[in-house]
Amino acid sequence: MLRDDVLMILCTHEGYFSGAEISRRLGVTRMAVSNAVRALRDDGYEIDAVTNRGYCLRGTPGRLTQGEVCAFLPEQRRALVRCFDSIDSTNSYLKREAMQGAPHGLCAVANEQTAGRGRSGRDFRSAADCGIYLSLLLRPRCAPMEAATLTSHAAVAVCQAIDRVCGCETGIKWTNDILLNERKICGTLTELTLEGETAALDSVVIGIGVNVNNRMMDFPLELREKAGSIFSETGQTVNRAKLTAAMIEALDAMYAAWEHDRFAYLQQYRDRCLTVGREVRVLRGDHVRDALAQSVAEDFGLRVRYADGTEETLNAGEVTVRGKNGYI
């Protein structure tokens, strides 16, 4: 949309940008540019217009939009990014699109989700204007089991993006919750679809929800001890469009590495895994056992030792691990 193209230009330039230059770059008339600017203002963008100088973006409405996200992405990536003001769930959207033949690399981003989904069938709170709700569609050519390491790789990629853009140090709670100051700021939900007849892997949708600019009072009371946002932990209001773009680029780089080596990020995952060395509670169905987390195994499983001295490598799909003391 022309409106998004104009926004993209204004987002990536500080100061004034001439209307003539915008119309030349986009191959449209000055009138079309002026109409696009009017539409952007109607949407809440503050844009100054000064004769002989052009337009200058002074303020944004605080929503995550296609134009703003794409402004931070290289041109060749933009075509496969779809940004929604509000959607049921970016994972559900990509699964529907995948069934219609959508390509590898398609990315869905939302400013709000009305039916965001978390792991184990839980809801994922996805309030407008404060978080990032992002899903990536992948079509790896491999057996379903081989795709199991993708989620841990994605967690590392998201940590890299957050650390780079926000200057903080995130860690991972096994298996793939991202923590800042021991509070969960990000969760990941990966969903696989298989071909009906052959049971071959058809698509993988990796969904990531980041609490970015939420204030503590935005969280329900029962979550306040364990949940946080980048804002609540660092005091900085983060440009969500910039962080979204950084996440997309980090996920793309992750996939390129994973294609060649299914364990490419194992060492980085180990370095970031905060669960190791902690006392944990292992939940398997109704059965609960306390253990000490020893290490991250070669297959990203969690190696634990029980009080009786026996050891076991836990597999993400079959158990849940909770910290015995505090969140981790």
Q: Which residues bind ligand BTN (CB under 6 A)?
A: 89-91, 113, 116-119, 122, 124, 133-135, 187-189, 207-209
Report the alpha-carbon distance of residue 77 to residue 8 in Å, rounded. Answer: 14
Report the alpha-carbon distance of residue 67 to residue 85 in Å, rounded. Answer: 12
Report the alpha-carbon distance of residue 62 to residue 130 in Å, rounded. Answer: 8
Q: Describe the strand order of the beta sheet including 201-211 as a list of residue ranges.
A: 81-84, 107-110, 131-138, 201-211, 183-194, 177-180, 171-173
- For ligand BTN, give the closer residue by CB, 122 or 215: 122
Q: At closest approach, how far in Å is the CB of 230 from ligand BTN?
A: 15
Report the alpha-carbon distance of residue 95 to residue 205 in Å, rounded. Answer: 7
DSSP characters for 252-281? Answer: HHHHHHHHH-TTTTHHHHHHHBSSTTSEEE
Report the alpha-carbon distance of residue 176 to residue 159 in Å, rounded. Answer: 10
Determine contact, residues 105/81, Cβ cutoff 8 Å: no
- For ligand BTN, give the closer residue by CB, 54 or 209: 209
Q: At closest approach, how far in Å is the CB of 29 from ligand BTN?
A: 39
Q: At closest approach, how far in Å is the CB of 89 from ligand BTN?
A: 3
Q: At closest approach, how far in Å is the CB of 229 from ligand BTN?
A: 14
- Please enumerate in sequence order all residues whose Cβ is within 8 A of that of 160, keeping only pairs 6 or more positions apart, or say none: 250
Q: At closest approach, how far in Å is the CB of 203 from ligand BTN?
A: 15
- For ligand BTN, give the closer residue by CB, 17 or 327: 327
- For ligand BTN, give the closer residue by CB, 122 or 322: 122
- For ligand BTN, give the closer residue by CB, 3 or 117: 117
Residue number closest to ligand BTN, CB atom: 187
Q: At closest approach, how far in Å is the CB of 212 from ligand BTN?
A: 12
- For ligand BTN, give the closer residue by CB, 18 or 320: 320
Report the alpha-carbon distance of residue 259 to residue 266 in Å, rounded. Answer: 14
